[in-house]
Structure 1
Amino acid sequence: MGKSCCQTPEPDGHAHNNPRWRLILWIALIANAAMFVVEIVAGLAADSRALQADALDFFGDAANYAISLGVAGLALSWRAKAALVKAATMLVFGLWVIGYAVYGLVAGSNPEPQTMGVIGTLALVVNVIVALMLFRYREGDANMRSVWICSRNDAIGNIAVLGAALGVFGTGQAWPDLLVAAIMAGLAIWGSVEVFGEARRELAHG
Structure 2
Amino acid sequence: MSGCGCEVELKDAKQKHVLYWLLGINAVMFCVEITVGLYANSTALIADSMDMLADAIVYGIALYAVSRSLKHKANAALISGYFQLTLGILVIFDIVRRLGEGEPHSWFMIGFGFVALIANVICLVLIRMQSNGEVHMRASWIFSANDVIANLGVIAAGVLVMLLDSRWPDIVIGSVIATLILRGAYLIITDAKKELSNAELTSENNSCSGSKSKSCS
**TM-score normalised to the size of structure 1?**
0.89
d(CA) in 2 for partners of 1:42, 1:148? 26
Question: 1:94-134 CA distances to partner (integer Å, 9 max, x unpaired)?
Answer: 111122112212x2232000111111100000001111211
Q: 2:209 is matched with which residue?
A: none
C-alpha change, 1:16 and 1:169, in structure 2 (3 Å) is farther
Question: 1:54-85 CA distances to partner (integer Å, 9 max, x unpaired)?
Answer: 11111111111111111101000011011110
Return the letter of the residue paired with 2:80.
Answer: K
Q: 1:95 is matched with which residue?
A: 89
Deviation at 1:19, TM superposition (A): 2.0
d(CA) in 1 for partners of 2:60, 2:10? 13
Q: 2:58 is matched with which residue?
A: 64
Return the letter of the residue paired with 1:154.
Answer: D
Q: 1:168 is matched with which residue?
A: 161
From 16, 19, 42, the equivalent of 2:36 is: 42
In the alignment, does 2:13 pair up with 1:30?
A: no
d(CA) in 1 for partners of 2:91, 2:19? 25
Q: 1:191 is matched with which residue?
A: 184
Deviation at 1:39, TM superposition (A): 0.7
Give the conservation status (yes or no) of the 8 Å contact 1:120–1:161. Answer: yes
d(CA) in 2 for partners of 1:16, 1:137? 13
Give the conservation status (yes or no) of the 8 Å contact 1:17–1:72. Answer: no
In the alignment, does 2:68 pair up with 1:74?
A: yes
From 106, 110, 113, the equivalent of 2:106 is: 113
Return the letter of the residue paired with 1:91.
Answer: L
Give percent identity, aligned residues only.
Answer: 33
Give the conservation status (yes or no) of the 8 Å contact 1:48–1:111. Answer: yes
d(CA) in 2 for partners of 1:69, 1:162? 31
Aligned residue for 1:73, secondary structure, equals coil
From 139, 147, 161, the equivalent of 1:146 is: 139
Instruction: Work out the number of aligned pairs and report it.
Output: 193
Deviation at 1:17, TM superposition (A): 4.5
d(CA) in 2 for partners of 1:47, 1:24? 33
Q: 1:6 is matched with which residue?
A: none
In the alignment, does 2:15 pair up with 1:21?
A: yes
Aligned residue for 2:98, secondary structure, equals helix
Return the letter of the residue paired with 1:168.
Answer: V
d(CA) in 1 for partners of 2:145, 2:10? 20
Return the letter of the residue paired with 2:41.
Answer: D
C-alpha change, 1:154 and 1:15, in structure 2 (3 Å) is farther
**TM-score normalised to the size of structure 2?**
0.85
